[in-house]
Amino acid sequence: MIIDSEADQDTMTDKTHEAILNPRVGDRFEEFYTHWVYIVKVTRWSVWTMSASAPCTFPQDAKLIKRSKKSFRKYFSYNSPNLVNKYWIKLCDRDNDIEGWL
């Protein structure tokens, strides 16, 4: 994903924030193109993710992690008052077909 302008960067930051607050099955995030996180299950209280670093094949190489929704948000957030609503992962796309992964 190539981000051309500061406005594009702000839009991606807003979309990432929305996806962190309201995760959906099939959401895919990245961190510097070498670490991927997929949302594989969402319940009222929890978020299940599969994550792996390159080179990898999903879902075979991925680690399954269950977190509370609050813990999910906190884990991916920067722990700094200057970076409120900023995350160390970025949303790539939403609603990927991950049927059968879990």
Distance of CA 83 to the CA centre of its chain: 17
Comparison of pLDDT for 85 and 67, the residue scoring more: 67
Asked if 31 and 89 touch (Cβ cutoff 8 Å), the reply is yes
71: which strand partners?
A: none
The C-alpha atoms of residue 89 and residue 100 are separated, in whole angstroms, by 24
CA angle 48, 8, 35 (to 5 degrees): 35
pTM: 0.84
Residue 5 pLDDT grade (very low, low, confident, very high; cuts 50, 70, 90): low
Q: Give the pLDDT confidence score for residue 11 in this predicted structure.
A: 64
Cis? peptide before 55, omega within 30° of 0: yes
| pLDDT of residue 53 exceeding 60 | yes
Asked if 48 and 39 touch (Cβ cutoff 8 Å), the reply is yes
Average pLDDT over residues 55-68: 95
